[in-house]
Chain A
Amino acid sequence: MSAAIDALTIVAVSAGMFFFLAGTVGLLRFPDTLTRLHALTKADNLGLGLVVLGLLPRAAGAVGALKLICVWLLVLVGSAAVSQLIARAVRAEGPSA
């Protein structure tokens, strides 16, 4: 059982790291604000979600696990809202590099 949990942690956290890396590469390489936002939010949300998923079995009890999920949900709300706001600001000002 513990080997399965270890495997879950390793796979999920590694996959999460991959998405973080992909998001960072996208942020650096994509040509304009909207595509950069797309790279960042998708990858960070999924990346953090996978990291949280991988850490869940290691959390200190149910409350600890719940806190981890809350952190992920708050980041989801925050980054989704902020990227919407940035995108609107970009649309209002016109596209720029």
Chain B
Amino acid sequence: MTTWQGFDIVLAVLVLPLAVWTIAARQTFVAVVSFVAYGLLLALIWVRLSAPDVALAVAAIGSGLSGVLLLGTAARLRDVEERAEAARPSVAVRATAAVLSVAVAAGIAAALLFLSDPAPTLAPLAAADLSRTGVGNPVTAVLMAYRAMDTLLEKIVLMLALIAVWSLAPDRVWGGRPGPRHRADPHGMLVFLARLLPPVGVVVGIYLLWVSADEPGGAFQGSTILAAMWLLAMLAGVADTPPVGGRRLRVALISGPAIFLLVGLGGLWLGDAFLAYPVAWAKALIVLIEIGMLLTVSLTLGLLVAGPPERSAQQ
């Protein structure tokens, strides 16, 4: 047994009980905390599976950002938690949920176990045309060139999610600022952190986008880090949340998908098809789209966590 095999076994032994604990934990807060730890371990597993791009996405989005969203939810549910605890669903409902969950898990396990050997793969095809995309990282090539349509639709789904969150606002504060105005001790730790960390985080976020052309990284992962820095500033009260009715904010929010669509339509005109990049311009166009995405996605993620507008723009 090599050291790496031992490490893998330790990872598996840690992650499985943590997964069970996440489901079994009675308190929402405990479940969320163990979910975050589970996500970080999962990221390590993806690294061991030689998928660093996925590991970054899991750590940033699956664990970090979802963790913050769930923590916010847990905090809002705290008042009704006891009542929810008292009203347990009937045995039939719980049994049905258990059976369905086991069926899904068994289905996934079966799909994995009965996978043909070697597993079907499009990797050789993806690698063969890599040079035509101008980028060296096959994951970026798949996301931004081969399956650019999926990525475009993903951005639009994200925007719809934000609109759904905003639409929860009461009429009188429509267009106002999300969340309460956070005030922290101006000489306290949170404000110190909110001043110290963002310069580093902004560099790392943009770096992740920039290297994703040839190395593991990506616009989504970079955006998550930028959003985290923005949220930190909001939580410390260093920056207020913007009024969601603002014209500049909305233009920034649609700029990512708009650039993507324009490049796509340009492909129809100059190239062969919608979203077909001319080979000579492929890399430049991909980077352009990713920069637009970085702006839009980081704003969207930050605003998703900030929640629906709660007070008017003047407050």
Footprint of B on A, CB under 8 Å?
74, 77, 81, 84-85, 88
Contact = CB atoms under 8 A, between A and B. Distances in A.
Interface stretch (B104-112, B186-194, B260-268, B280-288): B186-194
13 contacts: A74-B200, A77-B193, A77-B196, A77-B197, A81-B189, A81-B190, A81-B192, A81-B193, A84-B189, A85-B189, A85-B190, A88-B188, A88-B189
A85 B185 CA distance: 11
B139 to A, nearest CB: 21
Interface residues on B, range: under 10
Interface of B: 188-190, 192-193, 196-197, 200
Nearest to A77: B196
A85 B188 CA distance: 9
A77 B190 CA distance: 11
The 8 closest A-B pairs by CB, nearest first: A84-B189, A81-B193, A81-B189, A85-B189, A85-B190, A77-B196, A77-B197, A81-B192
A77 B188 CA distance: 14
Contacts, number: 13
Contacts of B193: 77, 81
Contacts of B190: 81, 85
A81 B193 CA distance: 7
Nearest to A84: B189
The residue in A74, A81, A84, A88 that gathers the most chain B C-beta atoms within 10 A of its C-beta is A81
A77 B196 CA distance: 9
A78 B200 CA distance: 12
Given A81-B192, A81-B193, A88-B188, 5 more contacts: A74-B200, A81-B189, A81-B190, A85-B189, A88-B189
Contacts of A74: 200
A77 B192 CA distance: 10
A74 to B, nearest CB: 7
A37 B236 CA distance: 22
B68 to A, nearest CB: 14
Contacts of B197: 77
A74 B200 CA distance: 9
Contacts of B188: 88
